[in-house]
Amino acid sequence: MKKLLISTYFFTGLLTCAAASAQVYIGGSVGRYNWDAACVGISCKTSDTGFSVFGGYQINSTIAAELSYKDTGTLHTTGSSAGNLPTDVKGKSLAISALANAPIYQDLSAFAKFGIGYMRAEIRNGALGNFDHSSWQPVLGVGLNYKLNKNLTLRGEVESQKFDMSYSKKSMLGYSAGLQYAF
């Protein structure tokens, strides 16, 4: 019985310490998202402004788990003399990721993000019609965090995602900046 009580106190203490060091956070960012579209013989806009909202759980000073929603803007192609009709591709994703944090200097830290996302490409084309294509794809990113105060952090990030559009895979590289608030 004594061993059971000691074990219970020990594990309760561990859970309390883990909960005290863990921190929930939310945030948002805006940025520029660039598609890897090959625009041969047509005019196209391969980058657009997009946004992201995210929430996470800082498990300890090194590891965090994060859920994010991202709207990567629209890839737009216009018709050419060959008869191509305008096409718009809107990218959206919902991803879950693990973040590995490393301190650099005082309030500055770097992070690497590894995760998986549900990517959705909404394709609008005058000749082919409108259709959506979704797939699970890896999400990779790196970034910097600068702690402004106890709760507020400035965040910069570079992230790579792929969108499978049935006829081809398109990569998207995003550069964003935003704020993160820890509770």
Q: What CATH number was assigned to the domain covering residues 23-182? A: 2.40.160.20
pLDDT at position 47, please?
85
Q: Residue 116: is its pLDDT beyond 90? A: yes
Q: What is the pLDDT of residues 80-112, one digit of tens each?
A: 544 556 778 888 999 999 999 999 999 999 999
The overall average pLDDT reported for the chain is 82
Judged against a pLDDT cut of 50, whether residue 181 lies above it is answered with yes
Q: Does position 15 have pLDDT exceeding 50, yes or no?
A: no
Which of 175 and 132 is assigned the larger pLDDT? 175
Predicted local confidence at residue 125, as pLDDT: 75
Query: pLDDT value at position 150?
Result: 93
Closest CA to 144 of 129, 158, 155, 160: 155
pLDDT confidence of residue 109: 97
pTM for the structure as a whole:
0.79
- For residue 64, the model assigns a pLDDT of 97
Q: How far apart are CA 38 and CA 9, in angstroms?
A: 62
> What average pLDDT does the segment 19-36 reach?
84
Q: According to the model, what pLDDT value does residue 40 have?
A: 60
| Beta bridge partners of residue 85, listed in sequence order | none
- What is residue 59's predicted lDDT score, i.e. its pLDDT? 95
